Amino acid sequence: MKKILVTGGAGFIGSHLCESLLEKGNEVLCLDNFFTGSKRNIVHLLQNPYFELIRHDITHPFFAEVDEIYNLACPASPIHYQYNPIKTIKTSVMGAINMLGLAKRIRAKVLQASTSEIYGDPIVHPQKEEYWGNVNPIGRRSCYDEGKRCAETLFMDYHIQNKVRIKIVRIFNTYGPRMDVNDGRVVSNFIVQALSNEDITIFGDGSQTRSFQYITDLIDGVTRMMDTGDEFIGPVNIGNPNEFTVLQLAEKIIKLTRSRSKLVYMPLPSDDPVQRQPDISLAKKKLKGWEPRIQLEEGLVHTIDYFRERLKKQ
Ligand code: NAD
Ligand code: UDP
């Protein structure tokens, strides 16, 4: 049995990760400041004697004896990470320093939840890990993008200078049950709007693309990455390469929910990337047996079922 710390464990991805690690027979410490996470996501785990919930902000040092650390703490939706941009960048940078310092001291393995956003508005398509990206350092998304880029730098430097055992995964747009109703990201927004027969808010003309990964495929990928030998540190892209325009996503969701919603067009937020698609050949090679298994329509059906129940309880 391993002792595993998950920062951001009460969030969308974190709660699925805690659940999966417990199912595999590990002891899990879930750390969260509940900025975007919620007790609702992990309430079903609270009775498990191998699960511990700690309210803590990772911009402050934290100490515990663990074998592995998954560093997920950071708001991920643009509306939430732009709410307090200074706090967002502090979470990425000071959070990384605190978790790397802890990993160094207790000799734990530490995995960073990085993001496709480190490629910015990519000129190279699809994105391979070698691509350095096209990122605005002073825009509305910079607190998130540059914070995550700096965290990757810190991970590499602690590895080179202090031999900390690191893993970096670059996560592409992931969706699924337990996204918050007010999360603000495209999949949850469109599903909530469609189920309520409200207007579906297309930002820009909807021709921008994203590649959507279902949550279980991501959890499978990140846990396999943690279990690789120390010589493979990444960064590695984890995503589903099937690329859709935002308009195609809206149409699929309207069809699956049989919604009466109409599309409304709103201004495109600044620096919104035009296209995004992961090249996952490295992940397929190194994370033996991993590949995305749930395609968009199936994943949307599960997610719609979840939101249908959630909205009934509102
Ligand atoms: P989320 O907002 O649901 O989860 C983030 C969690 O971190 C929340 O529980 C929040 O309360 C917690 N948190 C935020 N700041 C904190 C702090 N200072 N101290 C302690 N806890 C803090 O988002 P998510 O989609 O689950 O994302 C989890 C991680 O994965 C993030 O690091 C995000 O950048 C990364 N990621 C997610 C996606 C995606 O598509 N979902 C894509 C790329 C990267
Ligand atoms: N988007 C949209 N309507 C919404 C929310 C988002 O058209 O209600 C668009 C957004 O402009 C972006 C894409 O959907 O082009 C994905 O946005 P999201 O915030 O989910 O993720 P990110 O931009 O960080 O990939």
Q: Exposed/middle/buried for 153, CB within 10 Å: 0-12, 13-18, 19+? A: exposed
CATH of residue 124's domain is 3.40.50.720
Q: Is the peptide bond before 235 cis (omega within 30 degrees of 0)?
A: yes
In this prediction, residue 314 carries a pLDDT of: 76
Q: Is 252 helix (H, G, I), strand (E, B) or coil?
A: helix
In this prediction, residue 313 carries a pLDDT of: 84
Give a yes or no: residue 112 inside a domain: yes
152, 135, 146: which is closest to 273 by C-alpha?
A: 135
Which whole number is the average pLDDT over 151-178?
98
Give a yes or no: residue 37 inside a domain: yes
In this prediction, residue 288 carries a pLDDT of: 87
Domain that holds residue 40: 3-174+214-240+277-292
Give a yes or no: residue 262 inside a domain: no
Give a yes or no: residue 44 inside a domain: yes
Specify the ligand 2 atom closest to the Cα of 116: 25
Give a yes or no: residue 68 inside a domain: yes
Q: Are 269 and 205 in contact (CB under 8 A)?
A: no
Nearest ligand atom owner, CA of 99: 1
Question: Ligand 2 atom 11: the closest Cα is on which residue?
Answer: 203
Q: How far lies 287's CA from each of 56, 130, 131, 150, 236, in Å?
A: 32, 18, 20, 25, 10
Nearest ligand atom owner, CA of 56: 1
Which whole number is the average pLDDT over 297-304?
98
Which residue(s) pair with 28 in the sheet? Answer: 4, 51
pLDDT digits (tens, 9 = 90+) for 78-134: 999 999 999 999 999 999 999 999 999 999 999 999 999 999 999 999 999 999 999
Give a yes or no: residue 185 inside a domain: no
Specify the ligand 2 atom closest to the Cα of 200: 8
**CA end-to-end distance (rounded Å), the chain:** 38
- If one counts every other C-beta atom within 10 angstroms of the C-beta of residue 2, the result is 15
247, 255, 179: which is closest to 214 by C-alpha?
A: 179
Band (pLDDT 50/70/90 cuts) for residue 30 is very high
Number of folded domains in the chain?
1
Give me the residue label for tokens 């978790």.
Answer: 99
Nearest ligand atom owner, CA of 76: 1
Q: Find the residues whose C-beta lies inside 6 A of ligand 1.
A: 7-8, 10-14, 32-37, 57-59, 72-76, 91, 95, 113, 115, 171, 173-174
77, 56, 261: which is closest to 180 by C-alpha?
A: 77
Question: Ligand 1 atom 34: the closest Cα is on which residue?
Answer: 76
Give a yes or no: residue 39 inside a domain: yes
pLDDT digits (tens, 9 = 90+) for 194-220: 999 999 999 999 999 999 999 999 999
Q: How far lies 255's CA from each of 55, 112, 139, 252, in Å?
A: 41, 37, 36, 5
Question: Ligand 1 atom 21: the closest Cα is on which residue?
Answer: 32
Q: Find the residues whose C-beta lies inside 6 A of ligand 2.
A: 77-78, 173, 185-186, 189, 201-203, 208, 210, 246, 269, 272
Distance 260 CA to ligand 1 centre (A): 32
Distance 186 CA to ligand 2 centre (A): 5
pTM value is 0.98
Give a yes or no: residue 305 inside a domain: no
Which whole number is the average pLDDT over 50-59?
98
Active site residues: 144
Which whole number is the average pLDDT over 283-303?
97
